[in-house]
Structure 1
Amino acid sequence: MPSGVARSSYYAWEASEQARKVRERENLALVHEITVIHVASTKTHGVPRVTAELRRRGRLVNHKRVERLMREHGIAGHSRRTRRRSLTRADRKAAPAPNLIKRDFTALAPGLRVAGDITYVPTAEG
């Protein structure tokens, strides 16, 4: 028995060895199912979809367990990144606005030189 460990803790750990082995076999079977679902989805499904598919197949499993097993075995879903696109198109023929400030942002009094970018403000015209 290791030193520094309570006798009851050691015997409790030793008694639970069989349960740990059973849990490990269940985890390996679950990882196989997760892998099958992941490959069938062309490796795009992540934890929520894999968990939902397992539940549809009658496997009652927690999403945290699925997440842990996927992380431990290097299984990851692919997420599409949504890119923000401007809804307006630049008029290539239009002349650019004149640069009146010429990068000199100092002002003698408040409110004399105001600069900003308002292209993100939605308007009725687009």
Structure 2
Amino acid sequence: MKPSFRNTSPSFRNTSKPSFRNTSKPSFRNTSKPSFRNTSKPSFRNASKRFSPNQQSFRKRLSPIRPGEQMDYKNISLINRFISEQGKILSRRTNRLALKQQRLIARAIKQARILSLIPFLSLK
């Protein structure tokens, strides 16, 4: 009769398999997450809104260009409203214009300058 080696294990072989997984799972639910935002200090946006005494509701401002007016290089009375005393084109925020209107006004001002209808510089 042959001896059975299946039941007996050699000394160089370990029968228990190595476990790479930790069987006890850590509990993350009880630990608090690190807070990246400091809640003790108010932000500048909230502080400025809080301390403004006359807070007006934001409403859409009317455009300074009337619907019938042409935004053209020939309309110098309209163009002069959007030029500063130094002869610079005023910003969109100052002009209260839409983006498309500001582009058209800037193009009209540049064309009028090239055609010498308005000066490049105003030395006052």
Same fold (TM over 0.5): no
Select the structure that is richer in helix. 1
Q: Bigger radius of gyration, 1 or 2?
A: 2
TM-score with structure 2 setting the length:
0.29
Higher relative contact order by CA 8 Å / sep ≥ 6: 1 or 2?
Answer: 2
